[in-house]
Structure 1
């Protein structure tokens, strides 16, 4: 794996165990408002993180950069990547189109995304998030944005079978305030927000957070601004040779979550599935081959 294929966030996560206390403090400060946090002068970054200027210089070198200017150049490239529209993304890939068939190049990109994403997901945090989603003592709300709404609907369709009190919140700002009326402390909001990050999604997450809800964010490798208030944030790599981003890695994460929550609640879930299948039989919704 080449160093250039990693985001600076990836590099920081890979080196956390090798950093000194001051460098780790700096790393967390960078990640808090990533990638914009490193775009100012070196002295400003050191001041914001409450560390010395030499600490910044040392950590930048540990991350594999020749100096702070090199570090900033990479950050600016990442910032450009965050805001690319579909046409710009297509042009980026077209300039370096691979010679092999697209089936191979696309699959290679997806496999790379999966490996990199899984390498940076904390299993403990994953288990804790799934436990929150499984806790039927609290209501569960699920929402997405313009394109990620499809992922939200998929997650909702399964979770409403697995456990009670699950709501799919429509992303329109004229609709979601109604759902916030009944949201209580320690209810759970699962929200999908990937580039280009949506103002409606941030406002919804912020208002839910202010009501005491637990926020679980599914985002991309650059991380939605919602990560600043999320209780759990899971980053999925989404870049492929296409004008659109890939949903394969987020979908893998979702299906793993569904399986985990199902196992945690199986005693009740089994009965819910049986009751649902009985209803399907009565409505004759599905063909039976007997």
Structure 2
């Protein structure tokens, strides 16, 4: 599956309104247990959804596949991509990367990632997430994983300057119950989770939602399991010719959210910036020109 191809989940959501009632039963079954529900034979998938095999065949064609085998293969490739580590990722790019200088190869890949990421973000969902992040009447908690903790730290530094009540969770999951105990209904948890999705982040999100906390997720194109319980979720395209994934599109989405959150509460944010500058002056943090 090419790096810019829509996932099966995205295809289902895009075509959902065009599906018949029976086809929606299949779609719902797939989304409920994704992607495992679609990895069996067509007869098993049909039985699990309570429909006929012709219904399955018609639905996968509406999703843009020639037939069930192609649909099945797409799910298998997604599953492989989600679980792949640095060695496997580099092996893919080593055989598929175009000729040319690495700078041009990276520039092309990153540019495509950014374009695809922003093309798949709806303004309504973006505005809703910015409102959640900026609302000072509720606490905001921020957490990342092994790689994405750097993004979480960046988000905390900026959003803590925009509004009060922002908490950066430590990287040790053993300390997270100490944060959970203070979370209240209506609070917001900003989560960064990219492939190979971390089980402890999913458990944290589950425990937080049980307390009435709303989750905003920033993830990759394959989508972290946290997306199933997130109030707002952003998929960022991350593949580059490297053993590692790129955080360029992820960072751009984050910075766009920070800028929108700032504008949402600008008068209060301006006062907060000025107070911070006065404190920086007293602590002599920055050199004077």
Question: Aligning the two structures, in what range does the TM-score lie when normalised by the shorter sequence?
Answer: over 0.9
Question: RMSD value over aligned CA atoms?
Answer: 2.0
Query: What runs of 5+ residues in structure 1 fail to find an aligned partner?
Result: none
Classify the secondary structure of the residue corresponding to 1:174: helix
Cross-structure match for 1:152: 152
Q: Secondary structure at the match of 1:260?
A: helix
Q: Quick one: structure 1 residues 163 and 18, their matched pair in 2 at CA, closer, same or farther if it must change by over 3 Å?
A: same
How far the C-alpha of 1:3 sits from its partner, in A, is: 10
Question: Is 1:223 aligned to 2:209, yes or no?
Answer: no
How far off is 1:69 after superposition?
1.4
Q: Partner residue of 1:210?
A: 210
Structure 1 pair 163–137 and aligned structure 2 pair: CA distance change class (3 A): same
Give the superposition deviation at 1:36: 2.4
Secondary structure of the structure 2 residue equivalent to 1:234? strand
How far did residue 101 of structure 1 move?
Answer: 1.3
Alignment correspondent of 2:164: 164
Q: 1:287 matched to which residue of 2?
A: 287
Q: 1:182-222, CA deviations, whole angstroms, 9 ceiling, x for partnerless residues? A: 11111110111110111111111111011111111111111
Q: CA, structure 1 residues 27+98, in 2 after alignment: closer, same or farther (shift >3 Å)?
A: same
Structure 1 distance, partners of 2:122, 2:24, is 17
**What count of residue pairs does the alignment treat as equivalent?**
288
Conserved in 2, the CA contact under 8 Å of 1:35 and 1:222?
no
Partner-residue secondary structure (3-state), 2:100: coil
- 1:63: how far off? 2.5
Normalising by structure 1, we get a TM-score of: 0.92
What are structure 2's unaligned runs of at least 5 residues? none
Aligned to 2:128: 128
Q: How far apart in 2 are the matches of 1:252 and 1:24?
A: 35
Partner of 1:183: 183
Q: TM-score, normalised by structure 2?
A: 0.92
Alignment match, 2:100: 100
- The offset of 1:13, in angstroms, is 4.3
Asked if 2 retains the 8 angstrom alpha-carbon contact of 1:125 and 1:232, the reply is: yes
